[in-house]
A and B are shown apart, each in its own frame.
Chain A
């Protein structure tokens, strides 16, 4: 089946540092999504990407849809304590109510 390889699996950083994480796949996706999940809660959408090469920002977050449509990255600038959580990439292969395939997640821990 389709798999997304997300890295790193965990990050321990100091407040104020920048963060970068990425996802790669052997499959071509038509949509890439980045979600943040906190313990016991549902994934919250951060950024949605729909076109190859697309670069989108949401405040301190920036994400890009790879040209090959097989990868995506998420950057967080100037991290703050509330950025703590698990970040998931998710890809959708096609349109028409198709499932999301998730990466393994990146657990972000911030030292104040």
Chain B
């Protein structure tokens, strides 16, 4: 079965540079979520989109922005990168509506800021 696709899988950036992470949800899924996971930590919610509209927002820095496109893929844009932004970034997708909204995670993008 098709899964969530994320690209790139690994990314190395310098401080103050920008980065763009991409997420392609499972086919027919209409909702995407972004999570950040630091070393030894649990995933922390950043932001989510349903039908191209922002639906929920967590502790996402103002330097980060995201959007969902008409084909339901999403991009997380990160500017003025800081050393502390080094982490695993996961995208998850689901179908919204009904009583069972299960989030399926992608393999993640490992971002290293030097």
**Interface residue ranges, A against B (CB under 8 Å):** 31, 33, 35, 40-45, 48, 50, 88, 90, 92, 95-105
Contacts and interface: CB of A to CB of B under 8 A. Distances in A.
A42 B94 contact: no
Interface in B76-104: 88, 90, 92, 94, 96, 98-104
Q: Which are the 9 A-B pairs with shortest beta-carbon distances?
A: A99-B45, A102-B42, A42-B105, A97-B55, A97-B50, A97-B31, A43-B105, A97-B96, A42-B107
Dominant secondary structure of chain B at its interface with chain A:
strand
A9 to B, nearest CB: 11
Contacts of B55: 96-98
Nearest to A98: B56
Contacts of A40: 88, 108, 110
B106 interface: yes
B42 A103 contact: yes
A44 B102 CA distance: 12
Contact of A99 (B56, B99, B104): B56
B41 to A, nearest CB: 8
B104 A45 contact: yes
A31 B101 contact: yes
26 contacts: A33-B103, A40-B108, A42-B4, A42-B90, A42-B108, A44-B105, A45-B103, A45-B104, A48-B102, A50-B100, A90-B103, A95-B96, A95-B98, A95-B101, A96-B55, A96-B96, A97-B31, A97-B48, A97-B50, A97-B96, A98-B56, A99-B45, A99-B48, A102-B42, A103-B42, A104-B42
Nearest to A50: B100
Contacts of B56: 97-99
A42 B23 CA distance: 13
B90 A95 contact: no
A33, A99, A100 — most chain B CB neighbours (10 Å): A99
B8 interface: no
Nearest to B34: A99
Given A42-B107, A99-B33, 20 more contacts: A31-B101, A31-B102, A40-B108, A40-B110, A42-B106, A43-B43, A43-B105, A44-B105, A45-B102, A45-B105, A48-B102, A50-B99, A88-B43, A95-B96, A95-B98, A97-B33, A100-B103, A102-B42, A102-B43, A105-B42
